[in-house]
A and B are shown apart, each in its own frame.
Chain A
């Protein structure tokens, strides 16, 4: 990993929705991956996604939409083009978490090689993490 970016929640976890968004897009940068090349492009996607939601109204569904867009999936971040269109994208795991409600959406990559689908183009499941901690 070249540069770690770790985000720490400093709120007390009390139920509060909508919540203040905090985002971390991380990846390992091993030889042969292009994940670093468009880091600034992906950073630039965030403001438009936030601005599309009314102030104070940002919720978990909006968070899900944000992570789904930000996951690497080829040239167009707003489109899941299907098998064979994802290039060297490396979106293994895609997660949106609401610390106030303990709920999260998570999706995992599917397949390998030409039959690979990035997490953001796979199926998300919703979990309530309260029973796990």
Chain B
């Protein structure tokens, strides 16, 4: 696929109403707390590096509970 003329991978940090796109060595991840990215590699577990994603952890949890019910959440 020649999308945007790129041959790269992209990761999306997604919550209801918000998505943030990341390529390797994204400045938000480089500067993020505990961020340790590598060139030509892209990896995530369950925490975000986009400021809005991080800021909205509590509100995204509320949105999830509203959508999926009380069985969701930590």
Interaction A to B: yes
The chain A residues found within 8 Å of chain B, CB to CB, are 1-13, 20-27, 29-31, 33, 35-36, 39-40, 42-44, 46-47, 50-51, 70
Alpha-carbon distance between A50 and B12 when the two chains are bound, in angstroms = 21
Establish whether residues B15 and A3, one from each chain, have CB atoms under 8 Å apart when the complex forms.
yes
Closest-by-CB residue of A relative to B3 is A10
Given known A-B contacts A2-B60, A2-B61, A35-B46, A8 and B14 have beta carbons under 8 A apart: no
The chain B residues found within 8 Å of chain A, CB to CB, are 1-4, 6-15, 24, 34, 36, 38, 40-48, 53, 57, 60-61, 64, 68, 71-74
Task: Enumerate chain A residues within 8 angstroms of B15, measured Cβ to Cβ.
Answer: 3-4
Give chain A's interface secondary structure class.
mixed
Establish whether residues B72 and A46, one from each chain, have CB atoms under 8 Å apart when the complex forms.
no
Establish whether residues A21 and B42, one from each chain, have CB atoms under 8 Å apart when the complex forms.
yes
Alpha-carbon distance between A51 and B41 when the two chains are bound, in angstroms = 11
From residue A104, how far is it (CB to closest CB) to chain B in Å? 16
New contact pairs (5) apart from A8-B12, A10-B3, A30-B71, CB-CB < 8 Å = A5-B14, A8-B11, A20-B40, A22-B9, A25-B43
Alpha-carbon distance between A4 and B10 when the two chains are bound, in angstroms = 14
Establish whether residues A9 and B34, one from each chain, have CB atoms under 8 Å apart when the complex forms.
no
Identify 30 residue pairs between A and B in the complex whose beta-carbon atoms are under 8 Å apart, listed by A's number.
Answer: A2-B74, A3-B14, A3-B53, A4-B13, A4-B15, A5-B44, A5-B45, A5-B48, A8-B9, A10-B4, A10-B6, A10-B7, A11-B9, A12-B1, A20-B41, A21-B40, A21-B42, A22-B11, A22-B41, A22-B43, A29-B74, A30-B73, A31-B71, A31-B72, A31-B74, A33-B74, A36-B46, A39-B47, A42-B46, A46-B38
From residue B29, how far is it (CB to closest CB) to chain A in Å? 10
Contact of B38 (CB < 8 Å), options: A7, A26, A40, A50: A50
Task: Enumerate chain A residues within 8 angstroms of B4, measured Cβ to Cβ.
Answer: 10
Task: Enumerate chain A residues within 8 angstroms of B41, measured Cβ to Cβ.
Answer: 20-23, 46, 50
Establish whether residues B12 and A5, one from each chain, have CB atoms under 8 Å apart when the complex forms.
yes
